[in-house]
Structure 1
Amino acid sequence: MEYPISLRDVSKWYGEVIGVNQVTAGIAPGITGLLGPNGAGKSTLLKLITGQLRPGAGDIRVLGRDPWTDRTIFREVGFCPDSESFYDEMSGASRRIKGYSKGMRQRTKLAAALMHDPRVIVLDEPLNGLDPSGRMEMLRLFRELGAEGKTVLVSSHILHEIESLTRSIALIHHGRILAEGHISEIRALIENQPLTLQIASPQVREVGSHLAGLDCLVSLTYADNGHELIARTSTPEVIYDVLQQAVLDNRYTVTALTALDDNLDAIFSYLVKK
């Protein structure tokens, strides 16, 4: 498969400091989230993809072309940088930008990135400065662009924003891609780690007694509220099956079943420590 954005063994140094370290990745059409803490290498990677930086090693292709040497590619690429990119005396529809709020400046950057209807859209922390309603509006817009078949690469250090936007992610830390793919695929990378399940039931003691004999159970504790228990297990599907069958047999009622660490925050924290 030829990806709209592909990187092979890409590295970038700033003197002796490594900004991006041997990154190999393929970004497919739709929305992909690039996640990592501040200083992880997200902005450097996006500048490499958009031809603003020359890689120290490796190969980058955007729509089959080298973004550093073939500048015509920018007719088909939109980029919204994290940094401010306007002169104060420039104007939008009716007012000079120097009078804009931070949120309005961010909207203007996004408009500039999208106005030429690009096939590839690269967004560096695009929700910064937006109020909650503005964030929701932009998230809807990004979903629409992805549904149209455009390639949308969105960087963020806020995990729940990306988790609400897409299930296709890449995790970057210290310039390296720790993992990439569907969230479920990345979760499978740490499947040997016990998963924490929160189970709510009005018969919580009966539920706990029923689960206590399972070999897959690592630990079982009761919450102080009296109607929840926390189960840690190496094979959560066994507990899912046992609970489902018990409910069908009318042994007890389960009002909620939540995987507490089956989310990006837990996955990222584990992979960084690893």
Structure 2
Amino acid sequence: MIQLNSVTKLYGTVIGVNDMTLDLPAGAYGLLGPNGSGKTTLLSLLTGQLVPTIGSVRVFGQSPRNNAELFHRLGYCPGSEGLYANVSGLEWVRYLCQLQGWNSADARRAAEAALATVGMTAAMQRPIASYSRGMRQRVKLAQAIAHDPDLLILDEPFNGLDPIGRHEMGELLKEWIAGGKCLLLASHLLYEVESITDRFLLINGGRLLASGTAAEVHALLVDAPNEITLRTSHPHRLASLLVEHKVTDSLHVSDHCVVLSTKHPGQLYEQLPQWLADEKIAITEMHSADESLQALFDSLLKIHRGEVL
């Protein structure tokens, strides 16, 4: 679906994307990174709005720059507004369908169907100037899906939506994926991506830090420093056992819980069951601070910044 070969994009002396190589098969992916990490630059390269300073970009095997044939297969919802205030949502989406080469009648039918899909039928005849930010976001999504593209590229699509709108947007995108379509969703909010797909790309400073499913990247981080909570009816005996085996950097006991920090969680996970069996200590609950995508994101950034060896 997407191929990047040693891609670097420079803005004068500022690096937008830094030596990125990537080969993504068809599917649904979240593009995660803090504001200023290079997400929008990467999307602009994929949609042909920018050309790489170094390297090559291919989408479905083709260069996206000035490629009308490829544009029929792409739907793009930009993070910026770019709307015309004095036209209606229907007129705007219809016009963009006509830019795809559709005649006026077919473009209007496609625009009406897309606006219905995003819940804008009742307001589609109103001028865009009268829309709330969430309504404008829905119209932007409608124009991205109206021509039924193969790959939908979204830059911060949940911005401006209220909780109900976010839920509806999430359900729509999950239906899109279930229909066999491809998706690349850029966001700085991890829970938004996590609710839609578990496959992601994480970038920071224009560099690709990790790609794959959350489980795959967790496996890579199994020996990164971590905090683990163990619940047991014998917390002091368990604490003594862990200190004896020298697997903790710090340890705290409170109310049937042992909370420990370790630089070698992989070793602990591997050997703990046997230690518990030998000492006849039962564990009723065990969880790690690194089980959420947010914690995973933080761990990767710490490694990238050299804070974790």
The amino acid that maps onto 2:171 is R
Relative to structure 1, the CA distance from residue 269 to residue 200 in structure 2 (aligned partners, 3 Å threshold; closer, same or farther) is farther
Q: Deviations over 1:1-39 (max 9, x none)?
A: xxx111111111112221111111122322211111111
1:175 pairs with 2:206: yes
Following superposition of structure 1 onto structure 2, how do residues 17-28 of structure 1 map, counting pairs within 5 Å?
17-28=14-25
Deviation string for 1:129-178 (max 9, x for gaps)? Answer: 11112112212222222233322111111123223332211111111112
* Contact 1:206–1:252 (CA under 8 A) maintained in structure 2: no
Q: Compare CA radii of gyration and give the structure with the larger one.
A: 2
Q: Show CA shifts across 1:54-112 (max 9, x none).
A: 22121111111110042211111000100002101121222111111111111111111
Match of 2:299 in 1: 267
| Contact kept? 2:223, 2:266, Cα under 8 Å | no
For the residues of structure 2 that align with 1:62 and 1:56, how far apart are their CA atoms?
17
1:114 has 2:111 as partner: no
Query: What do you get for the CA RMSD once the two structures are aligned?
Result: 2.5
Task: Give percent identity, aligned residues only.
Answer: 40
Distance 1:203 1:158, change over 3 A: same
**2:193 is the alignment partner of 1:162:** yes
Name the amino acid aligned to 2:33: G
Instruction: Point out the more displaced range, 105-114 or 188-197.
Output: 188-197
CA distance in 2, matches of 1:161, 1:87: 28
Equivalent residue number for residue 205 of structure 1? 236
Q: Measured at CA, do residues 190 and 236 of structure 1 come closer, stay the same or move farther in structure 2, by a change above 3 Å?
A: closer
8 Å CA contact 1:31–1:143 kept in 2: the answer is no
Q: Which of 174, 184, 200 is the aligned partner of 1:143?
A: 174
On the 8 A contact 2:224/2:265 being kept in 1, the answer is no
Match of 2:128 among 84, 97, 105: 97
Match of 1:65 in 2: 62
Aligned counterpart, 1:258? 287
**Which whole-Å CA distance do the structure 2 matches of 1:135 and 1:237 have between them?**
41
Distance verdict in 2 for CA 1:239–1:7, change over 3 Å: closer
Q: For the structure 1 residues 76 and 96, does the alpha-carbon distance in structure 2 shift closer, same or farther, using more than 3 Å as the test?
A: same
Code of the residue aligned with 1:51 in structure 2: it is G
Residues 269/57 of structure 1: CA separation in 2 closer, same or farther (3 Å cut): closer
Q: Which residue of 2 aligns with 1:33?
A: 30
Deviates more, 1:185-194 or 1:79-88: 185-194
Q: Which amino acid in the other structure matches residue 235 of structure 2?
A: V
TM-score (normalizing by structure 2): 0.78
Change in Cα spacing, 1:268 to 1:128, as seen in structure 2 (3 Å) is farther
- How far apart are the structure 1 equivalents of 2:234 and 2:270? 17
The size of the alignment, in residue pairs, is 268
Task: Report whether the alignment pairs 1:47 with 2:79.
Answer: no
User: Which residues of structure 2 form unaligned runs of 5+?
Assistant: 90-123
Partner of 2:72: 75
CA distance in 2: counterparts of 1:128 and 1:29, whole angstroms: 26
Is the 8 Å Cα contact of residues 232 and 283 (structure 2) preserved in structure 1? yes
Give the counterpart letter for 1:46 in structure 2: L
CA 1:119 to 1:237, structure 2 compared with 1: closer, same or farther past 3 Å?
Answer: farther
Q: Take 1:259 and 1:142, find their aligned partners in 2: how far apart are those partners?
A: 30
Residue aligning to 2:265: 235
1:86 aligns with 2:83: yes
Distance 2:184 2:168 in 1: 17
TM-score, normalized by length of structure 1?
0.87
